Structures are given as C-alpha cells and as structure tokens.
Structure 1
C-alpha cells in the first residue's frame, strides 16, 4: 500500500552491519513550483565488505541522475517502493542522487500548505517513522546516523529553519540560498526543514538561542512569553536531572499548520500542531497544561531519542514512554503545573488502561518486523502504560540513583544508538538493584490487573480480615507484584482526610494485609493510594457509596482522580450502570474545582451517555444539560469552569429552549457575563446546531466568510460533514474515500464531523460502506493516513448487534489481513463493550 519503501528489521540489521554513514550534503531547490522540488543528495559512506550490494531509499517523482563513485547507476528499474540499488560497493563510497520530489499534502514528508488568508505557502518536514526519503536520498533507519548539511534555495522573502543555525545566506535573481551549519551525527527521521515567510520571535537562555515560529496570519495569536517560560524551566530541569547539556546551539519550536499529530522532536527544530496549541480563542488552564506537557515532552526527546537513539523501532517505547514520564515529572518539579501527576492519571493513564484492554493490546516492548508495523504502535501502551511503569521504577530504585543511571547512559551512548538493555544496565549499576525480573514482568507482558479489597468487619466496625485480590484477564494471565499504598480516609468537619496509610506489596491472586486487621473501618478505603502502580482498582460498596456522596470532600486532587478513574473503569467493565455513573457525575462535578479533572470527566460523559439504556438516554442527556447550565451560571464569569461547562452545555443541549439559547449566543444575545463567544466557541456552536438541524447549512458558509482562514476551512469541513441529510453524508463520504489527493487534514475533518449520535438512521448504511472501503483505502493511502481513516471511520455510534455481525463477517474474510485489521478489531471491541454496558444499565432500571 505504501508509496515509500517498507524497510524490514532484517534488512535494516544487515545494512547496519554492512555500512557506516559519514555524512549527507543535501541541496534543495524550492523555486521550481508548488507541486515538486529538486533534491540533490551527496552521501558519503563506508562498506565493511567491499564488493557487497545494498540499496538507498528515495521516494521521488523521477530520478534525474544517480552516480556511485563516479559511475552512473542504472535507475531504469527504480520505484519508490524499492529505492535505488547500489551494486559493488567500495570500502569508501560517494553517492550523488539528483531527483524531482513531490511536496506532500498528507502531513508526511515535506508538507506544503497555502494559507488562504494571504496566499503564502509554508513547508515543514515530518519524517517519523521513515519519510526522510521523501525529501532526500538516505539510508532511512535510526541506527545509521550521519552528519547532515543542508542547503536550501527558496523565494527571497522566505525564512528557512532546520536542525542547525544558518551558516550563510545569499540572494541571486530573486531567490535566497541558505547554507546551514553542519549538524552532529543524528538519525534521518529527526532531520528537519521548515520554510516559508514564518513569523519569528527569538530570545536566549543559558547560552541557547530559543526561536518561536508561526504563520504570518497567525502571529496575533502567538504568546511567546508563556512558551519561552516553560522552555527555560524545562532546560534548567533537564540539565540538572540528566547531567548532560543540550548539545546544539539553538532550539526552535515551529507551530506547523495542517499537522497530523501533537508534535515532533526534530533535533533542535521541534514542530507543534498549530490547530491544537496555537490558541486563537480563550482556553482553560487544562489546555495550557497540555501545551506545557507537549513542550516538555519534545524537549525530553532531545536526550531520549535524539542524542541517544533506539537501534530499531522495537525500542520505540524508549523514546515515547521516557518522554511521557519526563514531561510530567518536569511539569511537577519545575513549572506551575504541580498537579500534573493527577492529570496524568485521569487523562493519559486512562488512555493506557483502555488500550491495554483491547484485543490488539501488546507488551510495552514489542517486536516491530517492519516500519509499517511501527505506525500502529504510537498508542496508549507505548506512551502512557510505559510511562506508568517508569514511574514505578523510579519509586523502586529512588530518584537520585535513577538520575545517575540516566546521566551515565547519556554520557556513554551520546551521538549513538542503544537498547533497553543498555539503559537497564546503567540503572542497575547506579541503584545496586537487580531490575531484569521487573523489566520482564512489566515490559514484556500485556494486560492490566484489577485490584479489589476483600474485607470482613465486626459489629463495632473493626476489620477482622483484609486481603487484596488481584484479577487478570485469562488471555493475559500475568500476576505482577504491585507496590501500593492503602489509604484510610475519614470525614472530618465535612472533609475527607487521610487518617492512616499502609504500604504493601501485592503478589499473586490474594494478598493478606494483617496491618489493617484491628483497625476501625474508615469512611473510604482507597487501594493504590498515591497512584503508585499501574492497575485498575475497585472500592468496597460502603466506600463507593461515600465517594458518590462526598467525592469533592477529598482535600487533595489525586484521591479524587483515583475515585473518578475507578468509577470510569467500573462503568466500562459493566460493574456500574451508566445512569449511576452519570448521577455520580451530576452530584460530584458541580463541586469539583480542578479544571483537569473536570475537563477529563466532560470528555467521558458522551461515552457514558452512549452506554445508557436508549430508553433513558434522552432523559439523562437533558439532566446533563441542566447540570452543565447550572454550573456554568454559578461559575466565576470569564473563568475556566464557566467556559468548560458552557461547552458541555452546548454539546448536551437538545430542547427547543436550549437550542434557542445557543442560537442567541451566536447573535450576541443572552450570553452569560464573562463568556467569550470567540472564534472557536462560535464554530463549536455552529457545528453542533447544524448537526441537530437547528441551523441551516448556509450558516456554515456565513461562518466561513466570517473566519476565512485555514482553521476556518478545517472547521467548516467538520460542520459540512455533520449536516443531517443523506446528500451531505454521501458527498462527505465520497470525498473521504475517493479523493486520493485530499489533504489529510481535510479527510480528518470530514471524518470528525461525519458521525453524530443523533443521526443513526442516516449512518446505518455506512457500516457496510465503511467495511467495503477499508481494503481500497488501505491500498491507496499512506500507512498513517489509512490507519487514521480506519480509526476515525469505524461507525462506533451505530451501537447495534448488526454492526457486530457485519464486522465479524469482514474479519472472517481471509483476504483482510495484516495491520489494517487492527483498527477494525478495536472498533468492534468498542461496540461490544457498549452493548454490554447498555444491558447492565437496562438491568439497573
């Protein structure tokens, strides 16, 4: 399916054994037009077995010339999938490839977008996992590092940003040529180029030049001060913690338009999703903390991944789990976001728990046979579960030995490649502890344990017996050792205060806890207090009853997050009826003041509604709308809670009165004091009202005329796909599945708006149409885009046994093999889980 070479681990290992790459000199001419550019690559490399054959990747429209050691190569059999054959290598080799390459519209390779606000074009590169070959000829694997020198010729008014600072600039015939300084050894996937008339803001910290960039039409929204503040705090923290300085002379962060993911850790030239993190409208502290986390995550990669790089992608988690852990750790230790571990639990760890219960779960460390397999594993296990296990490892060895081990690892392997064994050895040497068993138990096995209290109490309320039960899936039966806290909380003057705590090791299926025998039963008993281990937890019935009534009485946000997470797990597992979960939310959320907990719960409420018996869904949604409107009205004008609950009210509103209120907001009437009906809020209202038939489709045209920008166009596509007519759905689906050159941001936007829970009759035919389209789309789109189509396109809102039956028939077809099955399997699991939850809720009625 792919339009680039699919490198296998076997071929990569053989090529790494054979070759040592010294340098790339890459010259790009970006003045040839808006479709293609000219790429000249001069590659110098050695071969340990003179006379051997190899190959080099380049994904070009055509090869103009290819010369190896002064001899022209036969490129007549060249394809983007095979690359260029390199026969009869010498001990020392020089390869020159001149090619015409195509700009990308998929967000992979060298992406080009044209800003509808001013007609200017902007480029940025995105090369992970193996798309550097779309810009220049290279040995596109992480363990063939090389020095990299880039020369770019471009329109005179453009600015170019790469891994290193510019060494020289010259102008001739209206074109500017920039030559960048030679870069230290790095992997191809973290080399970078951004070019265009980017707006620039720079400053300096600790000898490092800091740069911040965005489109000219977005510069009014750029807030350099808070971004630079987090950046400075991050560098100070990581320099002290890692014992090795950031090695490059500058550090740039570029807000990239039409971006596929959150951000990318290009060495010294980080790209960040503009649409997610360059705020055009008022946002809450929840969004600002997420931006801080992204900044610190990518900065941590300068050490984990860039300075020391995994040898092959089976150690992808070494990059992502460590950056995930380090970013939250730095947020807590070095920034104003001291509650970041609460956010990690409620948001990121829940992502890991969900992923780990899907039929496609896998160990944190997992084999990657080829680069296509890698793209499917940028998931909650690689990020959140891995980070959770690292948090446990830090607690086990101690933070100071852990930091010493990291420092030793970075110093020993800097500019090279390493494996987890290398890191584990460094941590063992620094801590004096044996860690192999821990690693095997936690990193090499899949699945999540559930810890449940088993207790007996006498007539005086004293524990006469206490044990912790560990339950595991029969498919993943590993019983792990969990170091957990057990917190005893009691109501004191209306507050739930921790009055006692014991710390124990849970092993096997049943662990007796004699430390608790003889103690008075508390109002709430909380397993995994302080969130020390990676597990799902359960509360005993009495504790759960008190939590439902008094969850906001906890004096700290972390136990509240643990209780919300436990309730969410119980809902997903069919142990708690959806109506009971929602009523707990209606009772507890009005008093919750932590915006991160509120925002996470609000994201979960639509799923909770979908788990309810359809006979009561409308009633529960109406209660949610009333609750949200009441909290919004009582909140501080202009504050985070007011804005957050206004969005929730808008999403739940269905009555004529509520819809009229929302239309009034668009017209400037009846707006609550302090609530900003700004660009993003307006689009949210338009999308929601159009989807419900409460505004005509012409309202989308009017809003786009009001916000005629790239973001406006993106949001208008979401709105058009949400229009509740058969014609609108057919037109959107045709674009999604048939337009191969549709920019990826456009396909994503159409898919985002396509499925709406109030449009079931319109959407039922698309169960079959989606399944029919999967193999066709998989063949035509690049891996990342095809994966996204399956993930967003699966009809999860059509919660019906017929959806399961159609999916099972598709999965039973032996022609539907390989990675494309994964998203379909995960969609099927969501439907099956929702049906079980609905059955449980119906029983509760």
Structure 2
C-alpha cells in the first residue's frame, strides 16, 4: 500500500493498511473521557466520548478508527475541521498533518451502548434493576467506544477519565488518582496513565459492583517489595455467591509463581478481576483490569472441574500480563504468540502453583480435544496463520491458536528442556518489553537459550497443519513374543497435501492386565524424528495387553491403537488408574468415533461400563458430554431410542450409587436432564421439580432446576400447569439464569407455531420487548434447535435465504450466534450421507455464493463439516450394529 485509500464500508482493517499506518505513526499518548452518567436511563442509546490523541506522523495523511453514533467535532492542532469532509463510515481521514512536529487531535462524539458484548456492554440486572457496564475490545472493538488507531502494533499510554453515578464503582486499567463529586449525583474519576499498551487491552468497568479488596506483597530479587493492590468484583445481586477471597488467594498464588518463572516484576500496578454478565468470552487479559464471565460466580453446586477451570482461566489471563500485554504480536498472524503461550503456561501454573494437580489431565481431555476437532476441519490452518484482515483475526481465536499451540509448546518444552524454555521467555521479555514481536523474535531467544536450531522445528510444527497419528506396529513369534516393534507416525497436511513428519519427544508405555487391573510394566522415552522409531524395550517380551504411545501426553498427536490394545481398552479402561494415560486413551477413542472408525454405540457402551470409575471431575464431565453427543448425533437413528433408554437407566442407577452431593452425582443429574429432552427419564425429571425431596438424594440447585424445566419443555411435557409453575419460579427469583432458561424452555416446545416464532425472533434479533442481548438471543436459538429434524426441516430454505443479510447487517458476534444457532445441523440419516437434504442445501448455497465474505464462508464450512461428520458416523453406526 503506497497511498491512503478512502472507501466504505471500512470497518474491516486490512493488514497492509495497518502496516502502512504503523510505518508512519509514532504515538505519544492518548486521553479518553467517557461520560456514563446517563447509563441508567433505558431510553439513552449513547454517551459522550472525547478522545485526545497526540502523535507524530511521517505522512501528512492518516486515518483514525471510530465506530460512532455521531461525531460533533474534530480539532486538529487547535483548528476545527469539517466533520462531513473527514468522516467516512468507521474512519476519520486527516489531511495536512505536521510531519516536523507532534500532532494533537481532539475528537468529540457519541458512542453507542452495546447489547452484543462488543464495545461497552450495558446490562440491567433483572433482580434489582441496577445497571452495569463493562468493555470487551478484542480484537478490534475499542473503536466502538473511543477514537483510536485500532491495531496491536501502535501502542501508547492511555489515561481514562470516567464520569458516572456517585455510588458506582468506576475503574480502568490503572489506579484512580483523582475523584470529584459534582453535587448532582454524579462523580468524575481520573485514572493514572498506563504504560504503552495496545487498544484491544484497554478496559473500563462501571456500575454498582460488589468489591472485595486485598494486597499482594511481592518480594523481588533485589530485596525490595512490590505492593500490588487487588480487587475482585461482581454484580451486587451475586455477592452472596461470590467467593472473592478465593479469587484473591489464587491471584496471589499466580503472582508468586509468575514472578519466579519469568523473573520480571508485574508491570501493571494493580490487579483487578471483574466478573461481568453476558460476556462473550471466558475472560480477557486487560492489564490491571481482567474481565471474566460471571459464570465463574457459582450460584449452583460447583464441581471440582468447574473450580479447576476457573483457576486455569485466571492463570491463563495472568500469563498474558507478560505474554501478550508486555510483549505483543505485531499483527494477528502471530496471535499464537500470546494465546498458545497463555494456554500452556496457564495450565502449568495451575498444576504447579495451586491445589489443582490434575490440570494437565483436564488439558489432555478437554483442551486438546478442542484442538483435534479444529485441526481436522476443512478450515484448519497453521499455528502461525495468514490473517489478511480483522474479520479473519476475529475467527482465529480457535482451537488451533489456543489448544494446539499450547500442546505444541508443551512438546517444545520437552524438546529443548524446561529450563531452556524458561530462560528464553525471560530474555524475550527483557529485550522486547512494551514492544511488538513476531515468530522470529521468539525463535532467536529459544536458539540462544537452548543451543538448538529452531528453524526446522518451527517449520514442522508451526507452519504446517493437520493432526499426526501415532501407531505401534509389531511382529510376534508363535510363542507370543515380540520380535520387532516400532512407533510410527502418519497423516497428511490437509492444506499442502504433504505427509506429516514432525519431531516428537514422548514416552511409550506397556501395560499388563492383572486381576482385572491395567498396570504399567515398562516405558521408553522416544525421540521420533522421522516416520518411525524402534521400540527396543518391547522386543523379546510377551505382547503387552496394552501399548500406549504418548503416555505422558508430552506431544500433540492422536493414537491409533493396535487391535489387541483396542480390545483391552474397551473391556478394561475403567481399571486404568493413572489419570493422564486414561484421559489420553479416552480422547483417542472419541476421535475414532468422530472419524467413523469406532461405532458410536460401542463408545457409548464403554462410557456406561467404565465412566463411573473415573475420579477426575473434568474427565468424568467430558465423558458424559460425549455420551449425549454420541446418542444425539452419531448413533444411527433406528438405534437411538434403545440406546438412550439404556443410558438413562444406567445414569439413574448412578444417582443412587454416588455419594449425595458429590461431583459425580451432580454431573450425572445434569446429564440426565439433557438426555430427558428426548422423553426419557421423565420420572427423574418430575422428581427434580417436585416440592418434596427426590428419592435420589440429589440437591436441586438453580442449574438443575432450570435444566429440568427445559427438558420437560423439549419433551412436550410443559403443559399449562407446568408452565405456570416455571414462570412463577422465575418471577420469585428473577436471575439472568432463570430468564434465559425460560426463553430456552419456551422455544424448545415441540410445536410448529412455537418454532416459527423462535426462528423469527432470532433472525430479527429482537422480541416484543425490544432488542435482544447476546445471551438472550442464544438462549432462544438453543431452544429452537431442540426440535426434531422433521419438525425443523421446513425452516431450511428460509435459513439459507437469510444468512447473507444477517451477516451483512449484524455485528460479528450477533451474526455468528444467529448463523450457528439456527444451522440445521441435527439430522437423521436415511439413505447415503450425501443424499441428506440439509447437506445438499448447504452444498448448493456454497456453490452459488463462492464470493461471499470469507468470514461467513468459514462459519458455514465448519458447520457443514460437523453435519457431514455426524452423518458419516451414523452410517458407520448402522453398518456396525
């Protein structure tokens, strides 16, 4: 890009435009003033935002990003310019800038309150009517709140000044240094300037939040102390459920750990953790003001898995304070430089700094499963991705960037050694503090720390796609003694078509079945540098009952079990006592189901026979998730009723067998409620909703109560009397959970008129009361999708006619929720998979819309791939009965 182009629409910033601007702009500072004092007035749609930007420019031209409701004035170096001439769509184009001195630009405008979770989100608590605000900016939504250079490599110091009701908690990335009450019920606070940061990690929090405070005292290497003020916040109506002291304890544990690991003092002053409603993400690493979904404020019984996940998320975001905030990728191609690292190091911290010592087991079971799914999609991409614009960046927050990248970094630590990895990180932070980097910068740090050539490793792992498969091949003599054994990898990069040959450092284990228990008898550390490596430790020994590659989950690969090992696992997996090998085995079996290599009913049977022996809360919950998915999507339709009834009977038996109030009983009860949507376990669901204590000794908390009402509705059992009880329960305790559950339940009823209304409501994004929020929209879409394939088939033509206008008129978040939420993905196989009408309709639309926006095509390609996978699995299930 040689010259500045002017065009509209222009929200989708291109990489070449960002590079041009970065080459010409040098930031000095930015000041942002937001007047939020009208936020409690429902009729007000916007607020005043005044931004002052001070910068140097090599070019007399540039553009500033601002998605606004209106712009009142633009003052450049003291002179007001024409708004009509400068503003085009989402950009403010400036001419005549000084090239020999700094420029000061002051923009006064009105920014819109958001209901989509993008920009400044406004939420009104249904319990007490109080209003709450928070921001979410990644990857490019700061421009919805204030005028800025919206790209990660134009860092500067930001100073926020906030005005709001005098009883509100007002916060940003840095401490408040001045506060003034105006005497009219409002106040203004000024926050200290930040260090140099990118726009996407600036943040604002405003509302009557409940606040728990503490201080972390960090002893530094030079003997000095660093005092870090901490705060944990949530909505006032959630205060009784909020374990803020536990959040502060975890924060302190993490800060201790990361100071030691990185040998670089926490650079962002304070550390606030804000739990906010209707959040689109799990959390966001805004320095000094980390935001989390309030789903982590547990209003129902929380299992060990839920607490572990919350702690893992907290550590993930804390890792970002260094990887991502202190040192930031230049452009979104290197998104992995922060997300992969935070996913890996966050899990490492959770395992080593907290009580959650099964963190790596959960990682193997859940995060890697996410990576394997994403990496087998037609839309897979290398970890270091090609991101030409912001829409592409928005969609690369996926299982490859996060979980595959983290898995590969875990393998990297095994490859170069943990100490070399640590030393590389320390040097990287010192050299590039407050700056921007790319892959090459980290590779240089790794090479210096490890003494190894990292270029070939990076080419093999970071610049290729696809999942390698590991298999053990062997020969045995007539006496059953192994005469040869090899570990082999195979697979194909779906993008290049080349064979996958990656270096692996891993452990292979051999197990024997003694008295019904699988016990590890031998292991070998293996460096697999090509397609095959000899397993000498097996030669001359009797064939083990189970040979398990990657027993320590050191590398990123799926396992294809030999016939003997597969038979052993399916019959005795419950006797495998080691948690990490057990999780790895389950993960590879699940992939075999998704690949149509293992019949789904066989996998369901394995879960029903062995899952109750799993003591890891996270793995147990994952297996029951997979149980429901297998029955609803992967089992042949004609087998589904019988298998679902058996599953419901087995799980009902578990309710009585498990200890009352245990994680296993809680997870089982919640899973039964999901199964009951198809009409099974009606007596169990009725007992959960009865006034008397149920015979299973299950505590019916908020989550289970609403899951039961949804199940009753989806199964056609929500008659007028039951509906009245449901609405009364929501009225007596009008939480956001209850309100969205009612939306889901009402949309789940198996009635054509109900589905018609739900479909229209989601497509329009509003109901009779007005515009829907992000979570309300998804709640209705979830209920709509609970109908049978036959009941929903009539909506397919309307769906395909609507999705392009939806994508063009809604924000990215809303459009994604609508398109995914209404996609006709639940189908029953009749003939051949390719004959399925829903799949054919998807193929036809894709054929006729090859020029559709790439971001829309990616959503649809992935949805179609999941549909096709389910149909193929049903076909394999049918052939294997």
Residue of 92, 97, 106 corresponding to 2:102: 92
Equivalent in the alignment of 2:557: 535
Larger deviation: 487-496 or 4-13? 487-496
Aligned counterparts of 2:323 and 2:530: Cα–Cα separation in 1: 34
Does residue 129 (structure 1) correspond to residue 135 (structure 2)? The answer is no
Instruction: Kindly indicate whether the alpha-carbon contact (under 8 Å) linking 2:488 and 2:531 is maintained by their aligned counterparts in 1.
Output: yes
Confirm or deny: 8 A CA contact 1:253 1:271 kept in the other structure: yes
SS of structure 2 residue aligned to 1:459: coil
Length, aligned pairs only: 841
In the TM superposition, residue 622 of structure 1 has moved relative to its aligned partner by 0.8
Deviation of residue 218 (structure 1)? 1.1
Q: RCO (CA 8 Å, sep 6+): is it higher in 1 or 2?
A: 1
Residues 516-565 of structure 1: CA distance to partner in whole angstroms, max 9, x if unpaired? 32122112111121112111101111111111222122221011111111
2:802 matched residue in structure 1? 773
Distance 1:422 1:564 in 2: 37
Q: Distance in 2 between matches of 1:241 and 1:278?
A: 29
Alignment of 1:493-512 (within 5 A): 493-512=515-534
Q: Equivalent residues in 2 for 1:558-569 (5 A)?
A: 558-569=580-591
Change in Cα spacing, 1:258 to 1:827, as seen in structure 2 (3 Å) is same
Bigger mean CA offset, 176-185 vs 668-677: 668-677
Instruction: Describe the SS at the equivalent of 2:31.
Output: strand
Q: Does 1:723 align with 2:749?
A: yes
Deviation per CA, 1:321-348: give whole Å up to 9, x if none: 1110011100111111111111001101
Query: 1:658 and 2:681 equivalent?
Result: yes
Cα offsets for 1:222-269 (capped at 9, x unmatched): 111321221111111111001111112210011111111111111110
Q: Deviations over 1:684-709 (max 9, x none)?
A: 10011111112234454233213212
Equivalent-residue separation in structure 2 for 1:465 and 1:672 (angstroms): 57
What is aligned with 2:23?
17
**Match of 1:45, SS?**
strand
**CA displacement at 1:118 relative to structure 2:** 1.5
Distance 1:78 1:623, change over 3 A: farther
Q: 1:636, CA displacement in angstroms?
A: 0.9
Deviations 1:432-478 (A, max 9, x none): 11111111111111111111222221232211222233221363433
Which residue of 255, 263, 276 corresponds with 1:243? 263
Provide the residue aligned with 2:47 in structure 1: 37
> Is contact 1:3-1:59 (8 Å) kept?
no
CA distance in 2, matches of 1:587, 1:224: 40
Matched residues in 2 for 1:699 and 1:729: separation?
22
Q: Distance in 1 between matches of 2:9 and 2:783?
A: 28
Report the equivalent of 1:405: 424
Structure 2 counterpart of 1:810: 845
Deviation for aligned residue 1:792:
2.8
Inter-partner Cα distance in structure 1 for 2:350 and 2:28: 38
* Secondary structure, counterpart of 1:320 in structure 2: helix
Q: Select the residue among 331, 342, 367 that pairs with 1:312.
A: 331
After superposition, where does 1:639-654 map in structure 2 within 5 Å?
A: 639-653=662-676
Aligned to 1:218: 238
CA distance in 2, matches of 1:658, 1:189: 47
Partner of 1:423: 442
Q: CA deviation at 1:3?
A: 8.2
- Which residue of 354, 361, 368 corresponds with 1:349? 368
Q: Superposed, which structure 2 residues align to 1:414-453 within 5 Å?
A: 414-453=433-472
- Aligned match of 2:783: 753
Give the CA deviation at 1:683: 0.5
Q: Report if aligned partners of 1:2, 1:779 keep a CA contact under 8 Å in 2.
A: no
SS of 1:445's partner is: coil
Mapping of 1:601-612 within 5 angstroms?
A: 601-609=623-631, 610-612=633-635
The counterpart of 2:718, out of the listed 695, 709, 715, is 695
User: Could you tell me how far apart the structure 2 residues matched to 1:192 and 1:80 are?
Assistant: 26
Paired with 1:817 and 1:550, the residues of 2 have a C-alpha distance of 49
Residues 637 and 4 of structure 1, relative CA distance in 2, 3 Å threshold: farther
CA separation of 1:813 and 1:253: change in aligned 2, threshold 3 A: same
Give the aligned partner of residue 704 of structure 1. Answer: 730
TM-superposition CA deviations, 1:154-176 (whole Å, max 9, x none):
11111101100100111112211
Alignment of 1:784-795 (within 5 A): 784-795=813-824
CA contact (8 A) 1:375 1:784 kept: no
Instruction: Quote the Cα distance in structure 2 between the aligned partners of 1:702 and 1:711.
Output: 14
TM-score (norm 1): 0.97
The DSSP-based 3-state class of the residue aligned with 1:183 is: coil
Matched with 2:13 is 7
Q: From the superposition, tell whether residues 230 and 44 of structure 1 become closer, same or farther in structure 2 (CA, over 3 Å).
A: same
- 2:831 matches 1:796: no
Cα distance in 2 between the residues matched to 1:10 and 1:155 = 43
Q: Does residue 1:272 correspond to 2:308, yes or no?
A: no
Q: Secondary structure at the match of 1:20?
A: strand
Of 240, 248, 259, which residue of structure 2 is paired with 1:228? 248
SS in 2 for 1:161: strand
- Counterpart CA distance in 2 for 1:439 and 1:781 is 39
Unmatched tracts of structure 1, length 5 or more: none
Give the match for residue 361 of structure 1.
380
The whole-number CA distance in structure 2 between the counterparts of 1:715 and 1:425 is 51
1:482 and 2:492 correspond: no
Distance 1:48 1:121, change over 3 A: same
Shift of 1:763: 1.0
- Determine if contact 1:651/1:688 at 8 Å carries over to the other structure: yes
Q: Structure 1 residues 4, 622: CA separation in 2 closer, same or farther (over 3 Å shift)?
A: farther
Match for residue 73 of structure 2? 65
Structure 2 unaligned regions, length at least 5: 1-6, 218-226, 830-835
Segments of 4+ moved more than 6 angstroms: 1-4, 654-657
Instruction: Tell me, in whole angstroms, the C-alpha distance in 2 between the residues paired with 1:105 and 1:667.
Output: 36
| Mapped partners of 2:384, 2:318: distance in 1 | 23
2: CA distance between counterparts of 1:659 and 1:229?
Answer: 43
The corresponding residue for 2:812 is 783
2:361 is the alignment partner of 1:326: no
**1:802–1:220 distance in 2 versus 1, CA, 3 Å:** same
Matches within 5 A, 1:71-90: 71-77=79-85, 81-90=89-98
2:153 corresponds to which residue? 143
Q: CA deviation at 1:492?
A: 3.7
CA contact (8 A) 1:255 1:273 kept: yes
Which of 765, 772, 776 matches 1:742? 772
Does structure 2 retain, via aligned residues, the 8 Å contact 1:810–1:816? no
Structure 1 position 53 matched with structure 2 position 73: no
| Root-mean-square deviation over aligned CA pairs | 1.8
Alignment of 1:830 with 2:861, yes or no, is no
Structure 1 CA distance for aligned equivalents of residues 622 and 679 of structure 2: 28
Q: For residues 62-211 of structure 1, what are the structure 2 equivalents within 5 Å?
A: 62-77=70-85, 81-90=89-98, 91-172=101-182, 173-206=184-217, 207-211=227-231
User: Would the alpha carbon gap of residues 551 and 657 (structure 1) be closer, same or farther in structure 2, given more than 3 Å must change?
Assistant: closer
The superposition leaves residues 166-212 of structure 1 with CA deviations (integer Å, 9 ceiling, x where unpaired) of 00111112211111111111111111100011111101112111101
Evaluate the alpha carbon distance shift between residue 567 and residue 78 of structure 1 in structure 2; reply closer, same or farther with a 3 A threshold. same
Do the aligned partners of residues 791 and 11 (structure 1) sit closer, same or farther apart at CA in structure 2, a change above 3 Å counting?
same
Which stretch shifts more, 800-809 or 2-11? Answer: 2-11
Name the CA shift for 1:764/1:585 in 2 (closer, same or farther; >3 Å): same
What TM-score does the superposition give when structure 2 sets the normalisation length?
0.93
Q: Partners in 1 of 2:232 and 2:48 — Cα distance?
A: 28
Instruction: Flag the 1:655–1:134 CA change in 2: closer, same or farther, 3 A.
Output: closer
Conserved? CA contact 2:87–2:93, under 8 Å? no
